[in-house]
Chain A
Amino acid sequence: MKVGDAEDNSNGQELSLSRGVQRSGGHYCALFAPRDPCLHPEVPTCTRRSVPATQPEQPRGSCRQQVPVAGKLHRGSAATGTTMEFSELIKTATVESVLLSCAGLPAVKGTLCITSHHLLLSSCPGGDAQPGTVELWLLIRNVDAVEKRLAGSSGTITLRCKDLKVLQLEIPGMEECLNIASSIEALSSVDSVMMMYPFFYRPQSLRLEEGWHLFPLERHFQQIASQTSQWRLSHVNQDFTTCPTYPPSVIVPAAVDDDTLRKAARFRHGGRFPILSYYHPKNGTVMLRSSQPLTGPNRKRCREDEMLLGTVLDKGERGFIIDTRSAQAAKQARMTGGGTEPKSSYPQWRRLHRPLERGRPLQESFMKLVEACNDTSATMDRWLSRLESCRWLSHVKAALSTACLAAQCMDREEATVLVHGAEGTDTTLLVTALAQVILDPSCRTLRGFLGLLEREWIEAGHPFHLRCARSASSHARPKQEAPLFLLFLDCVWQLSRQFPFSLEFSERLLLTLFDNAYASAYGTFLCNNEKERCLCKVKENTHSLWAWLNQPEERTKYLNPLYSHNPLVIWPSVEPQSIQLWQGLFFRWIRSSQHLDEAWAEIQRLVESKDPHAKEGVGKRLSRSLSDPAAQTENER
């Protein structure tokens, strides 16, 4: 059976369900989508921060229509190799009388159903298709860990999701329980990109090509070119041969030709030669990023690389290299062929070492924090020491400090900055992206921020597929997971807390981005770099998250009502007193945010009562009061 058959099969077994699904399609963002909230007041969709998780808006009916496409794709994907059938992974597709519970919400009993990409639970208290059906609609890719506990003839499955929510399913029948658990485990660990849901998801309101070319690098370059002629757009990486993790086009010094770039690339880890990351319009300084130079134990040099970095600086000018490793780590990297720029070969550059954690330690920090947050037994004292020992806030502080340092070098010292760590795909991007949010007001608008993500994370080759394969609760053997993108979002959240008027988007956007980076119906965060995306035809066969977010009715949900353009640099405080735990994320599913949500609604109400629309409203009210008596005069006549 091929993919399509699996879809067909599961559909056939729950036709009655799919009707309910279709009706509640609009409730994509709720954990439970009550068909009739009046009849089911105990299912409060509002007690949760209703942030779109990864549940699709679309009924599966339309997925089925798309199956041939997916099937074709699948067969054509020789690159990814494996052919696999979902139906083989689904050992039991439906179980009746499953009890679903989730912290803070009443338990629901219903029919559990597993499809290729979703876990569904539908409760029909009054029989099939009766209003009052409550559904869970969970993307299986969102499941991070499956824990099963058997007791007698029934079993309990705990699902720890990548978005940090925890669900419990009480399943009658031991065999069913084991089957369900292993099905979820198998489906959630399907590693082939093209088997993932985005390739099957076809929302009716969007077109496939929408959103994929919202932020062309050409336009970004035009803006820079209008201010300086020192940079050019190079297509040296057109076929991904110079650097497999760079996009086809990059911005480089105008004085350096493609040949030099190719040679410099050979001297940089993974071919990531220095390219322009940010041009600071205020004073014309620039920020570059790259990977470490391959100096190795023999202190190799590369004339082209030295020249590339030399042309960036005028005579007598100094630049700063911000190395996101400690001096010692950078030195040690020489033993494995890496290293750092020696002063003798790069005389105009001064190195600053700012060690930022990445990889395993960062992932463990994330895991420890989530574990601490979910531990309800800790006393106040234990809580603070656990918060301390997981070190997450230290990482936030370090990342913000380093980004501020980079920003400070540019804005205050008017010096050119080069940022790199080892591979140049993790902490490097964290620093360059954050520095831009701090420096550049245009990165603080919704559109500008998405453009920044596109440029500095997605196209820049942050390996999302590897880093976000597992979230904080996984028991799987860790591979290359690390929550660098989450750390970035957390830092942006810290900025938004310290400058509540300066970011056009709200916390809700950051949460949505987090959710989608780990499990999504959209293709935006799929794969590790542009090359892979090309191979998998992600842009041709999946929808872009940006297209979804840009729909007018969606867009407004992510806006900050307090926003007002702030042309200045926003220098955050990085004192420990100013760094706070992002409760909206880490406690999203643990504590009720009702009172905070109400406060937010109140802020919105207040601001809207005075914004231009409201003033128009006032105008209307005036004209209405005008028109009535005017009508009277008509009557008088």
Chain B
Amino acid sequence: MEHIRMPKVENVRLLDRLSSRKAALGTLYLTATHVIFVENVSETRKETWVLHSQISSIEKQATTATGCPLLIRCKNFQVIQLVIPQERDCHDVYISLIRLTRPDKEEREQGWKLVDLNEEYNRMGIPNNYWQISDVNRDYGVCDSYPTEVYVPKSATAHIIVGSSKFRSRRRFPALSYYCKDNNASICRSSQPLSGFSARCLEDEQMLQAIRKANPGSDFIYVVDTRPKLNAMANRAAGKGYENEDNYSNIKFQFIGIENIHVMRNSLQKMLEVCELKSPSMSDFLWGLENSGWLKHIKAIMDAGIFIAKAVAEEGVSVLVHCSDGWDRTAQVCSVASLLLDPYYRTMKGFMVLIEKDWVSFGHKFNHRYGNLDGDPKEISPVIDQFIECVWQLMEQFPCAFEFNERFLIHIQHHIYSCQFGNFLCNSQKERRELKIQERTYSLWAHLWKNRADYLNPLYRSDHSQTQGTLHPQMAPCNFLYKFWSGMYNRFEKGLHPRQSITDYLMAVKEETQQLEEELEVLGERLANLQKSQLNGNKVKSKQQDRNKQPGLSTSSNSLANTPQEYSNDLKSFPSRSPSQGDEDDSALILTQDNLKSSDPDLSANSDQESGVEDLSCRSPSGGGCLPSEDSGKDSDEAVYLAV
């Protein structure tokens, strides 16, 4: 057991709470399952055994002259007070016990193993003839915001990588994000080049050349700068900028104007102000939504993703994506493109992998962007929120394409900010490793995976046409396709949502159908067994009858013929559920949101039972000013009808 730092400590005293003189001297043993104290008194060698799972808390108290006291409180109210002579021993015992008494340590480790990025690159078909894993960044020596394991073109030597990294902002050199094994086209990501007005870097040019060569089917690559051109040009003055097509052989350079984090932060702020308007008119709302620019930004991100997906899937051309530092817009765009290209990312597991790959491993600054710690408010921006909304917008257009539902997205968004799980702590893999995040926290993915039944999209079928191949969102005209996501931004105002949830209903239907199928199978088996025995019985009987020459076999076959009716009666009496429509009992059965309450207490405001109709009609009507004032219980909820 790696957690037992100190299996045996001698000269430990077990104190008696009532009289300090009755302390017993002995040896403390730590085993995989128990803490054992054995008294030194040779005749008795009295043993005290405490099961790890019985321990409720361990307290290390201030060191005294006699040693270091350790207080073990048990769930059965036993209190064991030990004094360990050496402070260091005491500490080791303390740490070991802390680990040992946590029963689901293994579960935690398993949880972190759920998403394995090496496995993911293998799934893409890498390493192969064109791509290899590079250990150039093994100690974060080249780029401290990159992962240790980076996939690069085979022809890119360490020299080229290091050289290229020196020519890129924060040394974020071009590395592989997605590889399409059907046509060898790939999506690579980096930060902006330090080109200024005229600077060049041979290694960087070779790096891009290597990316192009890794896709023998195409004689050029796209370099997509996701910033507005003006922003990119302004960066040149600061010695940064963008690739000059003349310096790089065979690149096609493309700007896709996605605004920076500050614009996005303000845009969200403006949109939220619209959401908070008190009884807004339709015009107030639409104007506000437009002025916030939020949907325009969402569309810009989608357009970039669509452009890249098209280049990869249809043209078979590799793409290098960057913005300024390559950890915000680049992450958004790469992950949207991957989602469009590969149906795997539209499964629950695949989506987890995608976030781990494009966001977590490539150093998206979760701590800064989501204000996990007290920091610069200017660093905060809803970057991943926008990506999550892009996914939702796609789900609206392709209702059968995603294995997960809206609730899955909302819960991920929630936990990006909750700091309840370790996945989204810190700004880079390096920081996470330094803080040993995986040893001290749980993975959100395991938690979501455990409750995956709540997150399934009932319309998803792995053999459905929408779950195959690349998604092709409609391009033009498509402005109207982008809708305000009230399920996210007004999620706590349940009055705004559809009063009946199709997803929940269909999940219940699916579950019931499955139960019926299982029931059918069981019945079928029982039937087969019955018939077997019947057959045997018949054989025996018929032999007897042959012998006795007595007619009358019919009884047994009659009983057989009667059975289906009984079985189908059974089927009918099987509890059948109806969609929840205000019937509290029914809805309690159906709405799986109940489970959410237990798993995510902080979401409970959201997962309140919405039985729609009943709930609303219980409210006192009356209303502002227009209806007779006899009814004093003015209720703003229904007054909405009055304030036209």
Chain A residues within CB distance 8 Å of chain B: 318, 350, 352, 354-355, 373, 375-385, 387-388, 391, 393-394, 396-398, 401-402, 404-405, 408-409, 411-413, 497-502, 562, 564, 566, 568-581, 583, 587, 590-592, 595-596, 598-599, 602-603, 606-607, 609-610, 614-616, 618-619, 621-623, 625-626, 629-630, 632-633, 636-637
Contacts and interface: CB of A to CB of B under 8 A. Distances in A.
B486 A578 contact: yes
Most chain B CB within a 10 A radius of its CB, from A502, A566, A595, A603: A595
B538 A502 contact: no
A398 B498 CA distance: 19
Interface in B260-302: 275, 280-287, 289-290, 293, 295-296, 299
Most chain B CB within a 10 A radius of its CB, from A398, A607, A614: A607
A384 B579 CA distance: 35
Contacts of B350: none
Given A500-B502, A619-B564, A579 B542 contact: no
A377 B478 CA distance: 10
Do most interface residues of chain A lie in helix, strand or loop, or is the interface mixed? helix
Nearest to A570: B613
A380 B295 contact: yes
Most chain B CB within a 10 A radius of its CB, from A355, A393, A500, A622: A622
Given A618-B571, A636-B542, A562 B617 contact: no
Which size bracket describes the interface of B in this complex? 35 or more
Interface of B: 275, 280-287, 289-290, 293, 295-296, 299, 397-401, 458-459, 461, 464-466, 474, 476-484, 486, 490, 495-500, 502, 505-506, 509-510, 512-513, 516, 520, 523-524, 527-528, 531, 534-535, 538-539, 542, 553, 557, 560-561, 563-564, 567-568, 571-572, 578-579, 581-582, 612-614, 616-617, 620-623, 626-628, 631, 638, 640-642, 644
Contact of A405 (B534, B561, B642): B642
A568 B401 CA distance: 34
Contacts of A619: 564, 567-568, 571
A379 B296 contact: yes
B499 A376 contact: no
A572 B539 CA distance: 67
B616 A384 contact: no
23 contacts: A383-B479, A391-B283, A401-B640, A405-B642, A409-B627, A412-B622, A499-B612, A499-B613, A501-B505, A501-B579, A562-B579, A568-B581, A574-B640, A599-B459, A603-B502, A606-B513, A614-B513, A616-B568, A618-B520, A619-B564, A621-B520, A622-B524, A629-B528
Contact of A615 (B287, B516, B563, B612): B516
A470 to B, nearest CB: 24
A376 B477 contact: yes
Contacts, number: 249
B474 A592 contact: yes
Nearest to B280: A576
Contacts of A413: 621-622, 627-628, 631
Contacts of A599: 399-400, 459
Given A404-B641, A576-B284, A598-B400, A570 B499 contact: yes
A632 B535 contact: yes
Contact of B613 (A393, A564, A566, A592): A566
A398 B644 contact: yes
B415 to A, nearest CB: 25
A609 B557 CA distance: 32
A562 B627 contact: no
Chain A to chain B: the 5 pairs with minimum beta-carbon distance, closest first: A412-B621, A576-B285, A599-B399, A388-B286, A384-B290
B159 to A, nearest CB: 46
Contacts of A636: 535, 538-539, 542
A412 to B, nearest CB: 3
A574 B641 CA distance: 7
Contacts of A629: 528, 531, 535
B552 to A, nearest CB: 13
Given A398-B644, A408-B638, A566-B613, A630 B561 contact: yes
A382 to B, nearest CB: 8
Contact of B581 (A409, A411, A501, A602): A501
B506 A569 contact: no
A595 B282 contact: no
Contacts of B512: 610
Given A626-B527, A633-B535, A633-B538, A576 B281 contact: yes
Given A577-B486, A595-B466, A630 B557 contact: yes
B484 A577 contact: yes
A352 B626 contact: yes
A397 B283 CA distance: 11
A603 B286 contact: no
B641 A401 contact: yes
Contacts of B623: 408
Contacts of A615: 516, 568, 571-572
Nearest to B582: A568
A575 B478 CA distance: 25
Given A413-B628, A575-B496, A632-B535, A408 B641 contact: yes
Contacts of A614: 513
A637 B553 contact: yes
Given A405-B641, A562-B502, A633-B534, A626 B560 contact: yes
A397 B640 CA distance: 11
Contacts of B612: 499, 570
A386 to B, nearest CB: 9
Contacts of A598: 399-400, 464-466
A412 B638 contact: yes
A354 B612 CA distance: 26
Contacts of A575: 280, 495-496, 640
Nearest to B563: A626
Contacts of A591: 474, 477-478, 480-481
Contacts of A393: 282, 286
B641 A318 contact: no
B640 A602 contact: no
Given A412-B638, A575-B495, A610 B283 contact: no
Nearest to A600: B399
Nearest to A583: B480
Contact of B644 (A401, A411, A499, A572): A401
Nearest to B461: A602
Contacts of B528: 625, 629
Contact of A580 (B397, B483, B505, B616): B483
Contacts of B568: 615-616, 618-619, 622-623
A498 B461 CA distance: 26
Contacts of A402: 641, 644
Nearest to A495: B499
Nearest to A378: B479
Most chain A CB within a 10 A radius of its CB, from B482, B542, B614, B617: B617
A183 B39 CA distance: 112
A350 to B, nearest CB: 7
A377 B509 CA distance: 43
Contacts of B553: 637
Given A591-B474, A602-B464, A387 B286 contact: yes
Contact of B479 (A379, A602, A603, A632): A379
A292 B286 CA distance: 34
Contact of B500 (A355, A500, A583, A610): A500
A99 B642 CA distance: 54
A385 B510 contact: no
Contacts of B641: 401-402, 404-405, 408, 574
B509 A606 contact: yes
A635 to B, nearest CB: 11
A381 B290 CA distance: 6
A603 B535 contact: no
Contacts of A583: 480
Contacts of B502: 500, 562, 603
Given A405-B626, A574-B640, 13 more contacts: A381-B290, A385-B286, A391-B283, A397-B281, A412-B620, A502-B581, A569-B617, A577-B490, A598-B399, A599-B459, A603-B502, A618-B571, A630-B557
